[in-house]
Chain A
Amino acid sequence: MINCEFDRRSFLKWTGASIVAAMTAPLSFESLARAATTTPLPAKTPILVLVTLYGGNDGLNTVVPFTDPVYKSVRSNIALSSNQVLPFSGSLGFNAAMPSMRELFARRKVAIVQGVSYPNPNLSHFTSMAIWQTASLTGATSGWIGRWLDQQPHSPFNAIGVGSTLPPAFVGDKTVASMVDVSGVQLPWGPVATVLPRLGDASPSDATLEAAAATSITDLFATAKRVGAHIPKSPSGSYIAQQLSVVSALINADVPTRVWEVNLSSFDTHTGEVGDQNALLGEVDAAIGAFMTSISAGRRANDVTVMVYSEFGRRVGSNASDGTDHGTSAPVFLIGNRVKGGLYGEQPSLKHLDENGNLRVTTDFRSVYGGLLHDVLATPVGDVIPSWHKALSVH
């Protein structure tokens, strides 16, 4: 792509989660499963957990500038008052639905990167999420973790998403991540169960997508063998809590996985925002609190970094439906026992807005990725995000 806008065609491609080339080395599922079982993740290997909030989480009601008179006046119908906030400084506080985050922040295990977005933010969910997940402003079809995956020795365990449809960030040019589900892995049964693994073998006549279909078969049998037994039988709590409890169980079982992804939808609060967002943030907060407790009690206590992000923040001024329309920058959370907690970047002014009444961007999200690539995935930033070299380190 030579144009610098995320144009229609690249959007179309992106919604297709890209096209993945055939696996270079045809591996049988037995050999993959054997390799994985015999190679647990080496001790002290850093692990990244992405928490994606779909819909555009309102940053100003998450990390709340509760003493700013502008905050109160331009969103009087949804502004949180001081008793709906857990202050951590004279001017900022967490939404009161987030007591775990407040506590982790007080223990300096949470880095809040303020005002994060990309240059000239586009108010579209899909363009914004495409940019975040591809780490490209110009319409790359591969995801940023997917490009990292392309550079690793192939294994279905390098990156695992929770759910059944792959997040675009996890789709590379040559390879894709695996998935596990909160309901656990149940292998096919009956006489055909011995036939199906053979349908997953690579075939020289496979076109790209047939090869990907075959790989999905192999991945099911491989993940069942390697991770199936470690998935909690009936995880409890909200969906995000269930997803994160699967991730913590698998991390504590030494599954050789460097990157995980979980996600939650419904942050598109055009109407009735306060009740809906508080409920969602409460679920995220409780899930992260439980996750950090579980990780901190295990062998990987100091290895895990969690990133919580959304495709955009929301409009500074509220609308008449007690909600907010699409906006721009918002805070990103980085959480972990090895993270140097505190505030990073600059809180965007509520007075000096862009021409659409939106917050200005004070930190480019690619710098946050840069820090994670360098500190967690030990990969040169430019190898994954071409022509980008900045890294905001919180470790």
Chain B
Amino acid sequence: MSLYISWVSPTPSYELRLATARLVHRFNFGPTPGQYENLLAHGLAAAQSAVLVHGRDDPGIDTVKSLVLGDLGPFPEGNRAKSNAFWRRIAKDSSDLVMWWLDRMVAARYPLTERMTWFWHGHWATSISGVTYPLAMKKQNSTLRNLALGNFEDMAREMVVDGALNVWLNNNENYVQAPNENLAREFMELMTLGVNHYTQNDVAAAALALTGYSTDQSNGRVTFNPKEHFSVPLGILGATGVFDAQSLAKLVVSKNDNVQFITDRLWFRFVSGSTAAPPTLAKSFASRDISSLVNALVHSSAWTDPANTLVKSPVEWFVGACRALKVRPSTLDAGDTQWLLSQMGQVPFNPPNVGGWTYGTAWLSGVNYQYRFQLAQNIVAKGNLAPLDVQPLDMLQACANWLGVPAWSRRTANALTLSLATPSELALAAILSPEYMVSP
């Protein structure tokens, strides 16, 4: 493959530019102004360490006002005025919740925790369309954030009794007399083991193990009632015993299939949809320590392989552009922003189904581009374009470095050249270029 790189200086090497761009876009939602050049100056090892920083006070996150949501109680009945007020409040809280999380992604100085929380949200894909109450969604979001780089067994044990997930997958209607299999099946298929690594008998038995839990939907609180629980020995995945949600999660996560499944899921979302994870990668997840797996991914040799391109999902593209242009999402019109994201197919807290969001070329339709343009227009209108304040001859390279693009193709360089006179046009065209829509 011939890559047209005459629009960027020959040093540092294209490989370093590519690897660094991939790391900062995929693990940190993209560079802030100046960050890409700074990382390039310090070499790959420094970039690998930089994107892994997490778990310390984040002065960026500190600038996002904390969001406190109230318990709105049961659905109001009868009284129309009361009911209207209730649904307006649900809508307001839901919108605030989305903008609050987008703000955190954009504001973070050490974005790995938010980025991993975003990954896990797609993995344990729970939608407010089924849960209704933003408070329960926020509670789940905190759980995922607290354990985003923790131990996966802890995460599975917490999530199997997460209120929002239990409502979403009908565990509130799972009774000993007539089990509802929804949570049991998706827990094994999509969240822990992968399809075909269990039998229908395992699903039926796991559903019984998950009886006796009831969720207060308005706040996501789950209570266990031993009298409603199936406390007779069950055979699940070759083990026999009396299981509850905790011991079920422990058993399932202890299976070898869990190691490869989670490793593959991270590889698929962070590295490549077309190449397979190297066979040794799963070893880093043997202890179920998520940070060890992420660390191994970041230090893998995948980053210079030209095959490992990815399409940025709409939220990843949007957050990346906001970080570069220093635009806080909450300063944009909240309704408009969420409508455009939903037209592009991705609003946080609202995945289309329990399988999570789509991937790759599915995001690349003409219709998607129509809304991408409108969102880009709104970002650029509020954006800080100072990084383009350079001599015209230097503008294309400055733009690539600003946005963390390894190289412009001749096609894109020619098109962007038409906009050199107007920085806002150049910025708009650049974030709408193929090289920025994907992570090359």
Contact = CB atoms under 8 A, between A and B. Distances in A.
Interface stretch (B67-75, B170-178, B330-338): B170-178
A203 B438 CA distance: 15
Contacts, number: 251
Given A17-B359, A216-B366, A199 B268 contact: no
A126 B410 contact: no
A148 to B, nearest CB: 17
B108 to A, nearest CB: 26
B261 A164 contact: no
Nearest to B356: A15
Interface stretch (A235-243, A317-325, A372-380): A317-325
Given A8-B197, A213-B438, A18 B367 contact: no
Given A18-B361, A127-B195, A164 B180 contact: no
A149 to B, nearest CB: 13
B361 A220 contact: no
Contacts of B174: 321
B358 A165 contact: yes
A231 B354 CA distance: 32
A319 B440 CA distance: 48
A213 B355 contact: no
Contacts of A9: 264, 276
B164 to A, nearest CB: 16
Contacts of B415: 195-196, 198-199, 201
Interface residues of B, number: 80
A268 B175 CA distance: 19
Interface stretch (A34-42, A111-119, A174-182): A174-182
Contacts of B173: 270-271, 319-321, 323
A388 interface: no
B4 A205 contact: yes
A333 B298 CA distance: 49
A11 B409 CA distance: 33
B306 interface: yes
Chain A contact-residue range equals 35 or more
Given A210-B438, A213-B437, A171 B368 contact: no
Nearest to B169: A270
Interface string B294-308: 000000000000100
B11 to A, nearest CB: 20
Contacts of A222: 366
B433 A199 contact: yes
Interface in B307-321: 309-311
A16 B273 contact: yes
B119 interface: no
A330 B103 CA distance: 46
Contacts of A171: 361-362
A270 B184 CA distance: 13
Interface string B184-208: 0100011000111100100100000
A199 B365 contact: no
Interface stretch (B19-27, B34-42, B153-161, B424-432): B424-432
Interface stretch (A183-191, A277-285, A296-304): A183-191
B435 to A, nearest CB: 6
B387 interface: no
A16 B425 CA distance: 32
Contacts of B416: 195
B353 A265 contact: yes
A122 B343 CA distance: 32
A19 B364 contact: no
Contact of B360 (A17, A125, A163): A17
B434 A214 contact: yes
B224 interface: no
Give the residue among B178, B343, B353, B434 with the most A Cβ atoms within 10 A: B434
Given A207-B440, A216-B365, A325-B182, A198 B418 contact: yes
B370 A186 contact: yes
Interface centre among B352, B370, B419 (most CB of A within 10 A): B370
B363 interface: yes
B411 interface: yes
Contact of A165 (B178, B368, B419): B368
B244 interface: no
30 contacts: A12-B268, A55-B353, A123-B185, A124-B195, A164-B368, A165-B365, A168-B362, A178-B365, A178-B366, A179-B368, A180-B366, A181-B343, A183-B343, A191-B425, A195-B415, A196-B415, A199-B432, A199-B434, A203-B434, A205-B1, A205-B410, A213-B438, A216-B364, A218-B366, A219-B369, A220-B367, A268-B182, A268-B353, A321-B173, A321-B178
Given A20-B361, A205-B4, 9 more contacts: A8-B260, A19-B273, A156-B366, A191-B425, A198-B418, A199-B415, A199-B429, A207-B309, A323-B180
Q: Which 5 residue pairs across A and B have the least CB separation, nearest first? A: A320-B178, A321-B173, A220-B366, A219-B366, A203-B411
